[in-house]
Structure 1
Amino acid sequence: MLPLYTAFSELLPLLAVGATPLLKVKTISQVIDSKTLEIVNATTLSSPFATFSFSATASFEVQTSSRVQVQFKEGVFQPPEISSSLDLPETVDIFGQKIDLKPVQQTLNPIQEAAANITRSISGQPPLKVPLPGNRAASWLLITYLDHDFRISRGDGGLFILAKEGSPLLDLLS
């Protein structure tokens, strides 16, 4: 499922990061496995220098036809994928003012070989797994609406509106 809207306050810093000139939210997704009763919330951020991915895994229990109890288990930070070439935009807009990045890009060209070496050393590293213990990792969802393409749910964290990947609804929004 791909988020269309959320009023979840803990996502606001993530969305603010995506509004910065050189760091963008590439993907936010949620995968639900009804066989293993697991949920994986994943996010990927990209910059001209690297791509950063992290996720949170949770188990869930269906309590009623519309209520689900969620227990987050761990967060996972993937090793960053460092770009072998630094691909800066020609200009960046900061507070309504366009800044020319061509001189910066010329200065950074010699650093590309160092970036390639770092990429080779990081690429084989395992992800960093962080357990999420205690009651703060417990949550619930009340599913207000659900069909083949769309889900609206409310939880102790806010309102969530999601569309299934590949849904025609996503075409209407783009």
Structure 2
Amino acid sequence: MGSTVNILVEDYQSIRYTAFSELLPLLAVGTTPLLKVDKISQQIFTNNLTIDNTITFSTPFATFTSTASASFEVRSPSRIQVQFKEGSFQPPKIKSNISLPENVDIFGQNVNLSPVQQSLNPLQEVVANLAGVISGQAPLKVPIPGERSSSWLLVTYLDKDLRISRGDGGLFVLAKEGSPLLDQ
């Protein structure tokens, strides 16, 4: 079983492309002003046969991370059966220094945020204190019930930098953490 699991690559992976319809709205949200998708990634733990799919969003005020955790069973050298167990939402990481862009484009109109930034500057100390309080909170965990919690993943290509997989939800192209593909 060890060699069949190795095809999955245990290292942290960052998504470079997907045709998974449920991720597309999340990617679209990242194109809105002041909200950005920082990373969509997957980490496979072969020692306990689990997977964490993680997405991180950021705003000028905070960073938000959620994870869907699953267990998996090896079905062939390139295919696994996945059972999602729970989702978790980390407490937001409030940034101690709020820094808005000077201008944003909202529905084709350029909006100057300099006056807003100036009004936020006196609040920086309050924000820093709030960040300390929130960061110590436990994540919110939510079970993932129902028939949509079961899935499969078929690895169709794998090398030292790239993994291409298909699942019942679509196509996934992931680059290995540290790969030069992430710099492109």
> TM-score by structure 2 length?
0.87
Q: Structure 2: how far apart are the matches of 1:166 and 1:86? A: 29
CA deviation after TM superposition for structure 1 residue 25, in Å = 0.9
Does the alignment pair 1:168 with 2:177? no
Cα deviation for residue 114 of structure 1 reads 3.1
Q: Is the 8 A contact 2:15 2:39 kept in 1?
A: no
How far apart, in 2, do the equivalents of 1:8 and 1:28 lie? 12
| Correspondences of 1:85-164 after superposition (within 5 Å) | 85-164=97-176
Moved over 4 A (4+): none
Look up the SS of the partner of 1:8 in the other structure.
coil
The separation in 2 between residues aligned to 1:170 and 1:24, in whole angstroms, is: 17
By how many angstroms is 1:142 displaced? 1.7
Query: Which residue pairs with 1:8 in the alignment?
Result: 20
Q: Compute the displacement of 1:32 (Å).
A: 0.8
Is residue 61 of structure 2 the alignment partner of residue 59 of structure 1?
Answer: no
Residue by residue over 1:39-66, the C-alpha shift from the partner in whole angstroms, topping out at 9 and shown as x without a partner, is 1111111111111111111111110122
1:147 is displaced (CA, Å) by: 2.0
Q: 2-side partners of 1:158 and 1:114: how far apart?
A: 44
Q: Percent identity?
A: 68
Letter in 2 for 1:63: R
Cα separation, 2, equivalents of 1:123 and 1:33 = 26
Shift of 1:109: 2.5
Q: Give 3-state SS (helix, strand or coil) of 1:75's partner.
A: strand
Residue 40 (structure 1) aligns with: 52
The amino acid across from 1:120 in the alignment is: G
Where structure 1 has 5 or more consecutive residues not aligned to the other structure, the ranges are none
Residue type at the aligned position of 2:42: Q
The one-letter amino acid of 2:129's match is: N
User: Distance between the aligned counterparts of 2:166 and 2:93, measured in 1?
Assistant: 34
For normalisation by structure 1, the TM-score amounts to: 0.92
Match of 2:82 in 1: 70
Aligned to 1:19: 31
Match of residue 30, structure 1, among 42, 45, 48: 42
Alignment partner, residue 10 of structure 2: none
